[in-house]
Structure 1
């Protein structure tokens, strides 16, 4: 294919993965990012000598990243240092603390200790989901350019593995009798913006992947990965324009002709990749008459929950593992309050990231950081977060102190930053503050996700809203799909 000028909107991992591959192929690539930092939601947040990952803090399925770097003739180990976490995380569920390991023998011992008799069920779960993943992998890599692509042979072969009609809790009930153990293998769905009682059963491969491949921390944080990706883009001659917000996308004859920056500069290009928040871009960057999707259709789509995030620098260290999850008393009621009632849940679910357990680079000596994420309703709700913010903060601190037996956490806080759903929408341009993008029910999977738009010929969509799903490995797969379809065009 002749060299083309590629414009990418957004310097998140999806856009950077596209840029890595296309600069490697010799194309001229320009990335325009509104923020002053690389990474989008995987950016680095620095405050008073402390460093935080803005968004994702854990990495799984590192084989996807290794493959991307290898494709670009790089060794990922030259750029980042991965630490395999053991335990994967500490789960505080009712009266137990469950610490699963990437070592299946240790996990079975832990299950035997807490859930006697269930350890053999774990073996069956892992065997069955290993087979399921073999069939589902081709679907994750399928472009699904139309509904007809569902009827391809490899898609039809995978149908039994999709367990159509089953939700995740139904799948897990085939293996685990104890409801607490089912929760331990389904809590990740909140990071898909859904309840396990509504998540398709096919997503049982996500807890399988964490147990099989492991969960990893990157020294310095996940942001080190996106910065490494940007280094490769620049080494290949690509340009990344930070602090350059795209104000409008200009179209003519079913093609994007150019983008207009906030400064007024107009930038033309041959092909465009959208890595910014999908719904926000469709509703804000196109003129309403030329938007590829109407605001009415956008409003009918299902969006994930949001998150109340706290970034805290401490003058001490704590006896915590890298990841700790505090479960509410009734997880089903909790998710219903967030996803359907659109109210602040009566009982909180709290995900705490504590890098200092394995990484001394993100805080001054003898100090540490906490990244705290609490799922809450998105901005489809009527919650006034400016009013609720102080009470929510106090509840989170109190819950952590009580559940983790930490005395007077407040007295050790040197610095903090809070991001509410309002902030995610206003400051980070995330539609309705839905930080996990479009939710993942059957009506919004595969060909029903916004992988492309028929009304725009020279644009591809990458990121958490595109196929296959919203998590870092899947976002990188969305970039692989977009690049492959771009290369197939004449």
Structure 2
């Protein structure tokens, strides 16, 4: 039965849900509060420079392929994909860095030169990680988190011990060199928690890194958003920007309408890809599935302080993606997760898309994106932003042996206050809920409201978790639940006479 489905937000999960629901034959409209689509994956253009505001890493290309294949399409129908070579580099001090190649054999050789015997250990570790990847990404993450039974398969039973171990211990059993340990712990940071709090099973992220490689969509990650917009419109989806949702209306326990810019819009089904906590504040309190106390107790992935910087010269001694681990990782992690505060000496990350993509900067110039992970909910002021930019850019100059400060043409920043303002993000988090043991699968906030019929949630605070590939999967999962439950939810129950 064709339904009128309204979707809140236009990030990866919302656009994915829109495509699948339109494919089912429904009348789908997407509402975006900002002037441009993309949610956290929007784009900044200034003075000839182009920056991805949000995600900059393209991992798990098979998930993108699977998404487009569901519509008999390929990513190449919409954008050009470039495999980065090398994938990235990691600085540990002045002239002290490790370059990660674009293939496993070369990475193994690099490890072996740093720690004798580590090459063989790495091959065995990645073989195990691939096994986990095949179980997780090809199967488990495509389950909607409705029941713990979803996790019980012959394959997962064999891996059960890995749900109770942690990545940090596993890596340290195999590798002694601190630099190699940090390189191997890096991928799980995308899951939003400390490696010591991340179950061993999530080593599949190491296979995503070393096994599948790091890619760049020409034009940036925003081109993936534009591809999904094109696909959605081809499927008949209507997308409306500058459309702020003020309320989710409920009648007789069923979601019935949205209040958009002061006007009421009727709906048979509502799907929200906005921040889960914020989405529930759009409901009257009696219809909220999770209390404020619940959200306070969750482990959130970090927020970020981001800088978008245009240089009037080319930057040397860096790759497209470069990590700066020249300060103590454990101390910075404590400042995010244990006793939240601004870190004294933060680790940071830099991306230079114009090294791969000439259109990202004017000729002879470089576009740079700098990111410092932060605890969500911190004080955010112009003075703090300026102080931390000075910290990292001074270290950047020293580590990469070049002068860059006086070559800055463009500088914009984005931090906790912006995540709240632009995305209604809970405490200004950037990546949603961390994937810890007790925030995995059926233990995450549900895709389907427990209190309101025909109301669904998608995105990084629900199943399967943070990151762009999981967002695509989340959109597919919620569309599947709409197909499974919405007819049942609309059936009326005849009350017998007494």
What TM-score range do you get, normalising by the shorter chain?
over 0.9
| Aligned-partner Cα distance in 2 for 1:397–1:165 | 40
Shift of 1:207: 1.7
| Aligned-partner Cα distance in 2 for 1:161–1:85 | 35
Comparing 222-231 and 424-433, the one that deviates more: 424-433
Identify which of 288, 293, 297 aligns with 1:291.
Answer: 288
Q: Is the 8 A contact 1:258 1:269 kept in 2?
A: yes
Partner of 2:224 in structure 1?
225
Partner of 2:109 in structure 1?
109
- For residues 33-76 of structure 1, the C-alpha deviation after alignment (integer angstroms, 9 at most, x for no partner) is 01111211111111222111011101111111111112112232
Partner of 2:393 in structure 1?
397
Q: CA distance change for structure 1 residues 51 and 125 in 2, over 3 Å: closer, same or farther? A: same
Partner of 1:441 in structure 2?
436
Partner of 1:377 in structure 2?
375
- For residues 229-286 of structure 1, the C-alpha deviation after alignment (integer angstroms, 9 at most, x for no partner) is 001111221100011111111112222111101x21111111111111112222x322
| Aligned-partner Cα distance in 2 for 1:488–1:357 | 46
Partner of 1:345 in structure 2?
343
Q: What SS does the corresponding residue of 1:427 show, helix, strand or coil?
A: helix
Q: Is the 8 A contact 2:326 2:347 kept in 1?
A: yes
| Aligned-partner Cα distance in 2 for 1:51–1:462 | 29
Comparing 110-119 and 76-85, the one that deviates more: 110-119
- For residues 272-306 of structure 1, the C-alpha deviation after alignment (integer angstroms, 9 at most, x for no partner) is 11111112222x32233432322222222221221
Partner of 1:315 in structure 2?
312
Shift of 1:359: 0.7
Q: Is the 8 A contact 2:57 2:215 kept in 1?
A: yes
Comparing 292-301 and 27-36, the one that deviates more: 292-301
Q: Is the 8 A contact 2:432 2:465 kept in 1?
A: no
Comparing 285-294 and 394-403, the one that deviates more: 285-294
Shift of 1:158: 4.2
| Aligned-partner Cα distance in 2 for 1:148–1:375 | 35
Partner of 1:366 in structure 2?
364
| Aligned-partner Cα distance in 2 for 1:109–1:257 | 60
| Aligned-partner Cα distance in 2 for 1:277–1:114 | 43
**What TM-score do you get using the length of structure 1 for normalisation?**
0.94
Partner of 2:490 in structure 1?
none
Partner of 2:322 in structure 1?
324
Q: Is the 8 A contact 1:378 1:432 kept in 2?
A: yes
Comparing 218-227 and 65-74, the one that deviates more: 65-74
- Unmatched 5+ stretches in structure 2: 488-498
Shift of 1:149: 4.1
**What TM-score do you get using the length of structure 2 for normalisation?**
0.93
Q: What SS does the corresponding residue of 2:359 show, helix, strand or coil?
A: coil
| Aligned-partner Cα distance in 1 for 2:132–2:286 | 44
Q: CA distance change for structure 1 residues 161 and 429 in 2, over 3 Å: closer, same or farther? A: same
Q: What SS does the corresponding residue of 1:135 show, helix, strand or coil?
A: helix
Q: What SS does the corresponding residue of 1:111 show, helix, strand or coil?
A: helix
| Aligned-partner Cα distance in 2 for 1:171–1:201 | 7
Partner of 2:453 in structure 1?
457
Comparing 197-206 and 350-359, the one that deviates more: 197-206
| Aligned-partner Cα distance in 1 for 2:481–2:448 | 10
Shift of 1:161: 5.2
Shift of 1:94: 4.7
Q: CA distance change for structure 1 residues 290 and 164 in 2, over 3 Å: closer, same or farther? A: closer
| Aligned-partner Cα distance in 1 for 2:346–2:87 | 21
| Aligned-partner Cα distance in 2 for 1:74–1:118 | 41
Q: CA distance change for structure 1 residues 101 and 198 in 2, over 3 Å: closer, same or farther? A: same
Q: Is the 8 A contact 1:189 1:196 kept in 2?
A: yes
Structure 2 residue 121 is the aligned partner of structure 1 residue 121: yes
Partner of 1:144 in structure 2?
145
Partner of 1:427 in structure 2?
422
Shift of 1:162: 5.7
Q: What SS does the corresponding residue of 1:468 show, helix, strand or coil?
A: coil
Shift of 1:193: 2.4
| Aligned-partner Cα distance in 2 for 1:222–1:175 | 35
CA RMSD of aligned residues (A): 1.7
Identify which of 301, 309, 315 aligns with 1:304.
Answer: 301
Q: Is the 8 A contact 1:171 1:204 kept in 2?
A: no
Q: Map of 1:64-103 to 2, 5 A cutoff? A: 64-94=63-93, 96-103=96-103
Q: Is the 8 A contact 2:90 2:97 kept in 1?
A: yes
| Aligned-partner Cα distance in 2 for 1:162–1:98 | 32
